[in-house]
Structure 1
Amino acid sequence: MNARTPGARDKLAFLLSLVPYLLDRRHSTVAEAAAHFDVTEEHVRQSVRLIAVSGVPGDSTQYQHNDLFDIDWDSFEERDEIIITHLVAIDDSPRFSAREAAALIAGLQYLSAIPEQADRDVIGAVMAKLTRGASGAPLQVAVEEGVADNTLSDIRSAVSAERQIEFTYINSRDERERRRVDPLRIDSLDQNWYVRAWCHLRGGVRTFRLDRMSDVAIIDAEITHRAGDVTLPDTLFQASDNDVSVIVDLSKDAVPLIDEYIASTTANADPGRVTATLRLAHMANLGRLIVGLPGNARVIEPAEAREQISRWASRALSRYENDSASTQGSANEHAVE
């Protein structure tokens, strides 16, 4: 297919696209630029010559040499190579600081580390642009692969192949059991990964947290239940008839943070707070949930719940004082094993 020659109304848009392209590539040939933008090589040459006489006037309102773009004319005329040697205006645009760029690069590294990430090349290109475009050299950062990453990869394979999996699971009450499930779907919430599955031991759909799973094995047996055969609610956690209810005095700002657990709310004497009824799978799940909302939540009843918070805080304080590892587990969720 022959390259097209842009019309007059396309020329400005083309010039605005060509300059960032040349800056990003640092070095390009006329042929490469023409192929990238699907225009003729002669049109690229004309545009480059126009760029070389473009700029921003200084305080005198008259163009001086440093107010114009410049290119390596020898490379351009002799070898059809485009190299911008002097920039104007663009250098004054806001840039990420070195720390900001490092933080974004770390996040992109984590994203690219997710198994079967389809856009790793694109993510790599974005990281390279952040490195070049920062106001300073970003700090060297690296995201270590977690234990759950390998588990996630195995489960993805099982879901794709519609194969059952077996694993050892530690539930929220620190009980260890061997489970055999039909994996149906993988979800994530905050920094945690979960698998929705039909549990053959429980005879129903259960949600398992990946960092509580170990010794995961794909079984050479086809799943007996598929996502279309069972009901998978839109929310990750669901209430159950076996849930326990806890009444708390809660800051309105904290309501969105634990909305999954709230069954109902009523007005409070303090306009900035509400009285909320929480539904939890187990009373033992309450400790980390409340402690994770310092100053925003106070347990009112039942008495068992207040005692649970007191015991949880005492255990945590004791471990902190002994400089030992922090307590295992997390705030427990509805329907999460």
Structure 2
Amino acid sequence: YGPRVQVVSPPGLVTSVRRRLAGAADFAAAPAPPIAFPATGSARHGRKRTSEDQLTRMLQLVPFLVHHQGLHISEVAANFGITREELEADLRILICSGLPEGYPDDLLDIQWEDDHVTITQDLDLNRPVRFTVEEACALLTGLETLNSLPELAEGGALESVTLKLLAAAGEEGLKAAVLSGPEVAPGNTAALETARQAIRNGAQLRLRYFSPLRDTASTRNIDPLRLYSLDNTWYLEAFCHSADALRNFRLDRIDALETTGQPVSGEAAPDGKLPVKLFTPNDDDAVVVVQLTRQGAGLADEYYAERTAQLTDGGLLAEIRFGSTGWLPMFVAQHGGTARILEPEELAGSSREWLAAALAQYEDQPLRRLE
């Protein structure tokens, strides 16, 4: 929290905070390397796969295989967007997985020696699964979001399913039902319907969009991909031809939306998850160039850097989009000398000032050695 908070005890924590702030300030004040990124468009830095990605994939893999017995291993791998080697690694883990007792008959039995993947012991995964109260409540929240859409008439299938789940989930279900997603404001109804129709028909749209950050409105052609709500706001995800990349447009900032009479280009497709990732590009973002040391290079993956360039000392230059810049000094301080802002200079300068003000609070305190 920098200059807004001063730690006074215990002494070990004071020393820890001071060391981290000092490390960040020293790195921020060091000479900057030349900023240059590869000129080719293929220089984007993709996010590395993590164990969390693998777990999510394996949870989807078992029911997929149960319902697609005998599918060729290359088709299975292609369906999940992974290599054959990655798929085989997943399968080797799955054949050691099963019911809690751990007996031989309680393990998944998966065969793929003939290049066709089959499950001969699926542990009754074909049985209908009974929802827990927590799962029913989560589903109710989503159903209430759909029920709030203006074009859905009362008394339909959604309402019927919602009522049945409410009855099954009891009092907890009633609580979940009030946690629905945002309603579509009357002024956004036309844009939502135009976007939905264009997505259904594969039609290109012309969008006039207001950016509060720049205090300007811009017009561009987009290929609409999907609509979703996040943090009480409705978004239209689309491929923007001006930016030549995926962008997310807030429905309440769309001034005008109309078809161009052209089909979509087919240059991009939605990821399949909502939201696409922890951070999705928006036209209100600040594009920041960050220098990362060898120890901090992994931050380029964590923050979905759009471009990276290797430095001679093993570190990286990374171009990252941030939706809010107010917390960037905290980001720099948090990493204690492994990350700093290079551009824009205004943000780099405010970060250095923030660190200096934070350190000034500890000038009269001796720097103790950490045990």
TM-score, length basis structure 1? 0.41
Structure number with greater CO (CA < 8 Å, separation at least 6) is 2
When Rg is computed on C-alpha atoms for both structures, the one with the higher figure is: 1
